[in-house]
A and B are shown apart, each in its own frame.
Chain A
C-alpha cells in the first residue's frame, strides 16, 4: 500500500518535471506543452505501453494529462475493433467524454459562482 503510494507520487512527479522542463528549458507555451503531453500519452498507448505504465505507477500515470491521450487512443482502438474505421472516430471520445463533459460542467459552475482575481502567485 505505502509503496504503491510512493511509486505513484514519484512517477507522477517525474511526469510533471518533464512538463516543467518543456516550459523552462524548451520554452514551450502552456498550450504546446499540454498538447505534447497528450500526444505522448496517445502514442505510448498506440504501442501498447501505457497500460503497463498504469499497472506500475497507478495514479502517477492516470492523473497527469498524458492519460487523456492514452484514453483517446484506447477508445479509438476498442471501437475500431467493433466497427472498423468509423469506430476510430466514434471511439475517440467514448472513454474521454466524461472528462470533457466534467470540464465543461464544472467550468460553467465555477464561472457562475466566482469572479477571477489578479492574484500574485
Chain B
C-alpha cells in the first residue's frame, strides 16, 4: 500500500440506504423519477436561501436514515459538506440531527470524499454506520462563487448551473443485496493554470483524467459498465474525452464514459454546459445510479467526483483554479 493512492476494501462496506432530494427546477431532469423528495419551493419553506439549504440537508439525511430502517441514534458519524462559507448549512443541519459529526470540504467532490472516508472507518471496524453525502442550493452557492442571482449576470455557454439538491447514503458492513465499495482512489490537486470560474469543467477535466488513469492502472483488467464523472459539464466532458483519446489510456473507456453534470438537465441549452455543485454528483450517484445498481442492471461503476478548489477571494486575487477528483469503484455481486 505504500506510495499508493488506490485502496481496496476487503470488508466490502455496503451502501445500505440512500436518499435524494431536489428543488423545483430539477423537475426538468431526466433523472426525476429517481429523486425521493421534490420540493416546489427553492427555499424549502424557509426564510433565507441558506436556511433552506440547511433544511434540505437535514430532511435528506433523515430520509436516508428512515429508508434504512434506522434511528438517528444508530448513526455513528455524519460525514458531509457543502459549498457555502465554512459549510454552515451542513453544520446547522448537523445541529438538528444531533449525530456525531465531522464536516468535510472537497468542493463538488465532497460526495465521494465523504464516501471514501466512511469506507476507511467501516474497514477499520470501529464504526457500524456512517451517514455520508453532500448538497448544494442554487441561490446560496451562486451568491458564494459567482454573483448573487439578483444581479442577473450573464453566463457564457461554458458556464454551469448549480443544482439545488442533496444526496446522502448510509455505509455499513457488507450486505449481499447492496452495492459495496470495492476500491477508491484519492485525488491529487491538479492545476493547469486556468483562471475562468465560468469554465470550471475545463479546469477540472485534467484532475479527473489524472485520477481515472491512476485508478485504472491499479485495477488492470477490470471491466466497468461505465465511468461517471461528477460535474464536468458538456464542455469539460469533451475535454476529458479528448485527453483520454490522445493519451491512449484504455480507449474503450471513451464509449463508456458519462458525466452527471452533462446529463442532469438533459439537452436543455438554457442550462448551458450542464449542472454543477456538490449536489450534482451526490443526487445522480446516490439516486438513479444507485437504484440501477440495486436492480443489478449494472455491476461495476467507477464514480469520479470532481471539485474546483477556488474561493471568491483567490479568484479576485488572480490565482488559478486548483482542482481535485476522487474516485470510488462501486460493485454489485
Contact = CB atoms under 8 A, between A and B. Distances in A.
Contact of A30 (B42, B138, B147, B161): B147
A23 B156 contact: yes
Taking chain A's interface residues, is the majority helix, strand, or loop, or is none over half, making it mixed? loop
A22 to B, nearest CB: 11
Contacts, number: 33
Contacts of B271: 120
A63 B261 CA distance: 39
A117 B137 CA distance: 12
Contact of B149 (A23, A24, A27, A118): A118
Contacts of B42: 117-118
A121 B270 contact: yes
Contacts of A120: 25, 161, 268, 270-271
Given A27-B196, A30-B147, A118 B142 contact: yes
Taking chain B's interface residues, is the majority helix, strand, or loop, or is none over half, making it mixed? loop
Interface in B129-147: 138-139, 142, 147
Contacts of A117: 42, 139, 149
A118 B196 contact: no
Nearest to B268: A120
Nearest to B142: A118
A116 interface: yes
Residue from A23, A116, A117, A118 with most neighbouring chain B CB atoms (10 Å): A118
Interface residues of B, number: 22
B126 interface: no
A118 B154 contact: no
A108 B148 CA distance: 16
B1 interface: no
Interface in A12-33: 23-24, 27, 30
A115 B161 CA distance: 20
A88 B163 CA distance: 49
B172 interface: no
B80 to A, nearest CB: 22
Interface in A103-121: 115-121
A27 B155 CA distance: 11
B153 interface: yes
A28 to B, nearest CB: 11
B113 interface: no
Interface of A: 23-24, 27, 30, 115-121
Given A120-B161, A121-B154, 11 more contacts: A30-B147, A30-B153, A115-B43, A116-B139, A116-B148, A117-B42, A117-B149, A118-B42, A118-B164, A120-B25, A120-B268
Interface of B: 23, 25, 42-43, 138-139, 142, 147-151, 153-156, 161, 164, 196, 268, 270-271
